[in-house]
Structure formats: structure tokens, C-alpha cells
């Protein structure tokens, strides 16, 4: 279990576990990563955090708080393929929903921590929120009002779906709150199982999903299987689902919003563009 900190004494000691990986990343970005991040990840026993943690965000969001389940050192060889790295964002964590935790590499706020909403809920229409969440929280309702007044980022602007969590890594982990069993129960066991299979992105995983949950499965958030495959960039699963005659629903829109080019190519090839 990671230790939360109230002072910098925790961030002392030699860099051993990820020393080469961290140096490789620093060579690519041309500057040293925050020492607090480097020493912290070297003291973790595992990438996966137990328990998971929630944390507040410094700006209005269409979902509430952020959640982190895994904290890690990114693999340097994959950074060239990361569109967000080109924007100055280094992925250092994520959760089962596909949302990411990013460390800013930008000059103006180097070392700040951001949370990326994988579901791109900033693009959802107001009625989607009110239909899915009859008792919409005050915070999300406030976000929707600010969006109407263009007080939040709009489509086409920089870093859409990124929300600042902290100005430094130390501030970030100091605001973590352990998620109890009651929080975990908000997601059904079926949904967890479906996500695990879809994210494998294999033909076998796709077959197991249909076999165990049926072709008409809808997630806790009312996404069908093709939409889930598009959200999580599971192109092999999506290809199988299409072959089985499943409805694609809003798969193209989700893929387009998330810039999942392989999903878009598959849908275009299949003649399933809107």
C-alpha cells in the first residue's frame, strides 16, 4: 500500500527500481522529472494501488472526482505514439475506466498533475446526463451551466477532457482519499467482468463476453458492447461483435472523440460510418 505524505521525508533514498527507465524518459523530454515522483514510484511494491483512491479536481468537471487505481513509470518507447505526450502530458496512472493521470511537461506548469476523462463526457449533451443520472449532483449540474456560458473548455480547444488535480505531485498524493467497499459497489460485478474481457482486446475475450452476457448487454452506463469496444480501443473485439451482427450504436462517435484511428478505420471499412 502506498504511503500518503505530509512532508518530504518520504522522498529520500536512492533511485533503484526504475532508474534506467526514468533516465530514458528524461532524455526524451530534455529535463529532469520531479524528484518527488521519481522516488515515490520506486517505493511502490506494485503498479496497482490497494485500495483505490479518489481525489478532488481544481475545476468543474462533468463527472465529479478523479479515481486512480494504478501508478507507474511509462514505457519510453511508446511515448512517440502517445498523442497527449506531444501536447506535453506524460501518463503516470490510470483506472479501470480507461481514465488517465498525467504529469505536465509544459513550461507553464511543469510537474502539475491532470486527470483525463476517457469517456469524454464534456461532449455529452445535457439530456444524456439527466437521463442517466436522475439525481444529478450539484457539481455536475454547475458544470453544465458553465458550459452553456462557455466558462469551460470547448471542442477544438487545447487539452479538452483534461482537468487539473494538483500543482505538484506532492499536493496530488496528499489529497488522495481511500475508496471504501461502498464506492466499489457502485459498479456492478457484471460490468467489471465485461470491462476486463473487452480490454483484453482478443477474439477469445469477445466470444466470452457474448457467451456470458449476451449480444444485447448494456453496461451500467447504458453502453452496448460495440460502444464499449470503441471507448476502450478494443478493435479486435469490435470486429468480432460486428461479425456477430451487434448494433454499433454510437461506436463511431466514441472512437472519433477519443481519436481511436484503428476503430474508425474498421467502421469505415465496414461501411458503418454515420
* Interval 128-180: pLDDT, tens: 888 777 788 899 999 999 988 876 665 445 688 999 999 999 999 999 999 87
* Res 11 pLDDT > 50: no
CA angle 206, 207, 211 (to 5 degrees): 120
Residue 18 has, within 13 A of its CA and on its CB side, a CA count of 24
* Res 14 pLDDT > 60: no
Residues 6+ apart with CB under 8 A from 257: 120, 123
pLDDT tens-digit series, residues 228-250: 998 888 999 999 999 999 999 98
* pLDDT at residue 197 in the model: 93
SS3 for 68? strand
Of the candidates 33, 134, 36, which has an alpha carbon nearest to the alpha carbon of residue 74?
A: 33
pTM of the model: 0.66
List the beta bridge partners of residue 55: 66
Rounded Cα gap, residues 56 and 66, in angstroms? 6
Q: What is the DSSP letter of 12?
A: -
Q: How many CB atoms lie within 10 A of CB 33?
A: 21
- The topology (CATH level 3) of 187-269 is 1.25.40
* Res 182 pLDDT > 60: no
What residue spans define the domains of the chain?
Answer: 8-180, 187-269
Question: Is it true that the peptide bond before 26 is cis, omega within 30 degrees of 0?
Answer: no
Q: Are 91 and 102 in contact (CB under 8 A)?
A: yes
Amino acid at each position: 500500500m502506498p504511503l500518503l505524505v505530509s512532508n518530504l521525508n518520504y522522498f529520500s533514498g536512492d533511485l533503484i527500481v526504475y532508474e534506467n527507465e526514468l533516465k530514458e524518459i528524461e532524455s526524451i523530454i530534455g529535463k529532469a522529472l520531479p524528484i518527488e515522483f521519481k522516488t515515490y514510484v520506486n517505493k511502490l511494491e506494485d503498479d496497482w494501488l490497494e485500495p483505490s483512491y479518489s481525489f478532488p479536481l481544481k475545476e468543474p468537471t462533468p463527472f465529479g472526482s478523479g479515481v486512480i487505481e494504478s501508478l507507474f513509470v511509462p514505457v519510453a518507447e511508446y511515448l512517440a505514439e502517445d498523442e497527449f505526450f506531444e501536447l506535453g502530458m506524460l501518463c503516470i496512472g490510470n483506472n479501470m475506466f480507461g481514465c488517465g493521470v498525467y504529469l505536465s511537461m509544459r513550461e507553464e506548469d511543469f510537474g502539475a498533475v491532470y486527470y483525463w476523462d476517457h469517456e469524454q463526457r464534456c461532449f455529452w449533451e445535457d439530456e444524456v446526463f439527466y437521463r442517466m443520472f436522475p439525481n444529478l449532483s450539484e457539481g455536475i449540474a454547475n458544470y453544465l451551466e458553465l458550459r452553456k456560458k462557455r466558462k469551460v473548455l470547448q471542442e477544438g480547444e487545447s487539452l479538452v477532457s483534461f482537468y487539473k488535480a494538483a500543482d505538484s505531485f506532492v499536493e496530488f498524493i496528499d489529497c488522495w482519499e481511500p475508496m471504501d467497499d461502498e464506492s466499489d459497489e457502485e459498479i456492478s460485478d457484471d460490468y467489471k467482468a465485461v470491462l476486463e474481457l473487452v480490454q483484453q482486446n482478443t477474439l477469445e475475450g469477445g466470444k466470452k463476453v457474448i457467451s456470458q452476457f449476451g449480444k444485447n448487454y448494456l453496461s451500467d452506463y447504458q453502453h452496448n458492447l460495440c460502444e464499449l469496444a470503441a471507448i476502450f480501443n478494443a478493435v479486435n473485439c469490435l470486429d468480432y461483435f460486428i461479425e456477430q451482427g451487434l448494433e454499433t450504436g454510437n461506436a463511431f462517435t466514441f472512437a472519433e472523440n477519443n481519436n481511436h484511428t484503428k476503430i474508425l478505420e474498421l467502421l469505415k471499412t465496414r461501411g458503418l460510418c454515420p
